[in-house]
Amino acid sequence: MAMPVAPILPDREIWTIDDLEQLPDDGNRYEVLHGELLVTSAPSHRHQNAATALSYLLFAWCREQTGWAALGVGGFYVDRTTFLLPDVALYEMDQHSAAPWTDVPPPVIVIEVLSPSTRRRDRHRKRPAYLWHGVREVWLVNVATRVIERWTAGAEFPVVESQSFSWSPRADVPAIVVEFATVFGPSET
């Protein structure tokens, strides 16, 4: 099997959302974070299974709730130099909205499935950026350890989930039940 070839990209000091539109459709994910271009290759099978399972879970919940939308891959526009693409995002907005990313409110939840090549960036750069710019909660999903870290803006440390849990965006909205066997597959122990 041939390995993907790294794209040859123009040299820029500051990247913007406009620059992203000029990049090739080559299977890579292109984002900008405070003017820096972030390039991520296609995810692994296990990564994609976990992201898809969480997308389906949130999408099914959204079908039962009015005013909520789940997207995998979601978009998070901050400004011309920060546009991120989390693996999954939950928004408080109509699920059939045609609003451009520039008009979409920050997601309520952003989910990043950690990969060996991106885990440091997702944990130490993207997670704080999401929380700083209005995302209420960031879930970092580790398929190797079967753990979900739930980060909020005010917390120094995450809530670490190692088995199924329930979460609700507000007291007046039914909870989402996150079943680990659905997200990670059957336990090997």
- Residue 82 pairs in a beta bridge with 79
Would you list the domain boundaries of the chain?
A: 44-184
Any idea how long the chain is?
189
Output the pLDDT for position 76: 93
pLDDT by residue for the chain (189 residues), tens only, comes to 444 555 666 678 899 999 998 888 888 899 999 999 999 988 888 999 999 999 999 999 999 988 999 988 888 999 999 999 999 999 998 877 788 888 889 999 999 999 998 999 999 999 999 999 999 999 999 999 999 999 999 899 999 999 999 999 999 999 999 999 999 998 876
Output the pLDDT for position 1: 42
State in words which class domain 44-184 has.
alpha beta
Q: Is 56 helix (H, G, I), strand (E, B) or coil?
A: helix
**How many other C-beta atoms can be found within 10 angstroms of the C-beta atom of residue 94?**
13
| Residue type (1 letter), 107 | P
Q: Is 30 helix (H, G, I), strand (E, B) or coil?
A: strand
- Do the strands 76-79 and 109-113 form a parallel or antiparallel pair, or are they unpaired? unpaired
